């Protein structure tokens, strides 16, 4: 029996360039009413995820920064895995040398060195403010993650991912969209967030349904007893999933929950 559902946000319960459907909202409400915990697991900042939790009526812990930070609804830290200072500084230098846009996240705040179309495009719908400054003016400590972005050339982002994985095998480096390369601590994975919350609540892996759409959700999908890929998921994710549901636009999340959860659930 499923006791916890851990879901990605963008491209999973929230279609890109759209809002939550009524069906998704009602499904999440029904899960909560039935005593099944719904956990948001995202690459987003914690501070940009709490408004989403509020919108969905959720008061559970949030897995943010790909699993680099887990906080409860009151803001207490349950798990934290920051990017090491040495590697963070090296990657900042590499990005500057190659004219690569970097988002730098420190203590759940976002910093960029240029106020350009990349950051303007990034913040749409994310409930986030940012500071423009030289990274040299900041203490590069408590780094939640780095995010390298190219909004036009996905192949270039793949090259960055491959290069950084080879140079920094002890970091967690993954594409979260075709245009985003995430760089974090080796323990900044959604799967680790799932493990932390399973231990906290005394829930077994087989009692968890996990669902996502991108390559940064591969370890998330593997962390659940039932791992689901969205119909709009990447080929790599689909290959790892127990089940492939419909797309985000067609309420694939709801269809997966109806198949694996609601048929065995009694509303309290």
Residues 6+ apart with CB under 8 A from 51: 127
pLDDT number for residue 73: 92
Q: What is the DSSP letter of 67?
A: G
Report the alpha-carbon distance of residue 217 to residue 145 in Å, rounded.
Answer: 17
pTM equals: 0.94
Q: Which is it for the CA torsion 217, 96, 119, 87, positive or negative? A: positive
The DSSP result for 82-103, as a single string, is PBPHHHHHHHHHHHHHTT-EEE
Cβ 7 vs Cβ 14: under 8 Å: no
Q: Is 18 helix (H, G, I), strand (E, B) or coil?
A: coil
Instruction: Give domain limits for the chain.
Output: 4-80+188-264, 85-184
pLDDT in tens, the chain (268 residues): 999 999 999 999 999 888 999 999 999 999 999 999 999 999 999 999 999 999 999 999 999 999 999 999 999 999 999 999 999 999 999 999 999 999 999 999 999 999 999 999 999 888 899 999 999 999 999 999 999 999 999 999 999 999 999 999 999 999 999 999 999 999 999 999 999 999 999 999 999 999 999 999 999 999 999 999 999 999 999 999 999 999 999 999 999 999 999 975 544 4
pLDDT number for residue 268: 40
Residue whose C-alpha is closest to residue 144's, from 62, 217, 83, 66: 83
Residues 6+ apart with CB under 8 A from 121: 151
Q: Which fold has domain 85-184?
A: 3.30.1240
Residues 6+ apart with CB under 8 A from 209: 2, 4, 5, 6, 224, 225, 226, 227, 228, 256, 257, 260, 261
pLDDT number for residue 124: 86
Topology alike, domains 4-80+188-264 and 85-184: no
Domain 4-80+188-264 has CATH 3.40.50.1000: yes
Give the chain's radius of gyration (CA, Å): 18
């Amino acid at each position: 029996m499923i006791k916890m559902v851990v879901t990605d946000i963008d491209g999973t319960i929230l279609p890109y360039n759209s809002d939550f459907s009524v069906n998704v909202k009602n499904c999440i409400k029904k899960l909560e009413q039935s005593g099944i915990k719904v956990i948001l697991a995202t690459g987003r900042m914690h501070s940009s995820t709490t408004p989403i939790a509020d919108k969905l009526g959720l008061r559970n812990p949030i897995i943010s920064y790909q699993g680099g930070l887990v906080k409860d609804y009151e803001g207490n830290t349950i798990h934290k895995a920051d990017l090491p200072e040495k590697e963070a500084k090296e990657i900042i230098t590499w990005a500057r040398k190659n004219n690569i846009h970097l988002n730098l996240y420190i203590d759940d705040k976002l910093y960029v060195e240029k106020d350009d179309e990349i950051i303007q495009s990034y913040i749409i719908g994310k409930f986030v403010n940012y500071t423009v400054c030289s990274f040299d003016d900041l203490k590069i400590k408590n780094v939640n993650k780095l995010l390298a972005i190219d909004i036009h050339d996905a192949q270039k982002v793949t090259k960055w991912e491959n290069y950084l994985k080879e140079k920094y095998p002890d970091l967690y480096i993954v594409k979260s969209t075709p245009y985003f390369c995430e760089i974090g601590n080796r323990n900044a994975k959604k799967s680790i967030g799932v493990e932390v919350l399973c231990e906290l609540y005394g829930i077994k892996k087989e009692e968890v349904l996990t669902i996502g759409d991108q390559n940064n959700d591969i370890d998330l999908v593997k962390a659940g007893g039932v791992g689901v890929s969205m119909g709009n998921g990447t080929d790599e994710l689909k290959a790892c999933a127990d089940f492939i549901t419909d797309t985000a636009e067609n309420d694939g999340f709801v269809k997966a929950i109806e198949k694996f959860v609601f048929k065995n659930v009694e509303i309290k």
